[in-house]
Amino acid sequence: MSEIVLVTGGGRGIGAEICRLAAQQGYAVAINYRSDEDSAQQLREELTTAGATAITLQADVAREPEVEAMFTALDKQLGRLTALVNNAGIVAPQARLLDMDAARIDRIMQTNVTGSFLCAREAVRRMSTATGGAGGSIVNVSSAASRLGSPDEYIDYAASKGAIDTLTIGLSKEVGAEGIRVNAVRPGVIYTDIHASGGDPGRVDRIGPGAPLGRGGYPQEVAQAIVWLLSEQASYTTGSFIEVSGGR
């Protein structure tokens, strides 16, 4: 049976590196994107030119009907899913709690938390041996922020990643007997454009040297941990976390 992975937010940054590495290891890859179609299509062309099977799927993971339509399209185009990476996530401009309104908090939680729940639900429906699936693996992209709290910057984002940690633990126990492993990776400060969207494009260069390893991280380093957790090399690993944070 061919391995089929869906990577949410897969067109750029960490997501794109996950797609590249998974494709190199023989996965058929579904690249989800919300709005940056150009990046997703360029990645698909790169992967298919290299001989991989890859498709793109547009959906805002915060919207349940779009998530359901995305998984239905995946079923038709690639077959039954065997791996999911909940990578899609957003931040808002850096702010203290005193300056956060409900709309901002809701937006963060809907994408980072609700989106991961919805995608995990649809994945379990397809992977579970209780529903005719062959098992599978889910990796959630959390953050070192879930431990550190991101004070004065993104405590709403940090809280959303705390929820992802709890989802990882609870779901791993819920579906372990159904052949599904659920794990998470907690990146630290990584060179991606998420920092620019938070209003601080130089954040990695500013904060990275303070890590014990003395630098920021790279998307490829995060992808290596994620794809290992997806693989059979991690066959007895579930409910676990890999810190890819330079020791922070």
Instruction: Work out the end-to-end distance of the chain between its first and last CA atoms, rounded to an integer number of angstroms.
Output: 39
Show Cβ contacts of residue 233 under 8 Å, excluding neighbours closer than 6 positions.
none
pLDDT digits (tens, 9 = 90+) for 188-242: 999 988 776 667 788 899 989 999 999 999 999 999 999 999 999 999 999 999 9
Phi, psi of 209 (to 5 degrees): -60, -15
Say yes or no to pLDDT of 105 above 60: yes
157 is annotated as an active-site residue: yes
Say yes or no to pLDDT of 1 above 70: no
Domains of the chain (ranges; CATH) run 4-244 (3.40.50.720)
Q: Which residue has the tokens 């998307």?
A: 219
Catalytic residue among 27, 33, 154, 157: 157
Mean pLDDT of 84-110: 97
Distances (CA, A) of 130 to 124, 127, 134: 10, 9, 9
Phi, psi of 33 (to 5 degrees): -145, 155
pLDDT digits (tens, 9 = 90+) for 48-57: 999 999 999 9
pLDDT digits (tens, 9 = 90+) for 144-192: 999 999 999 999 999 999 999 999 999 999 999 999 999 999 999 999 8
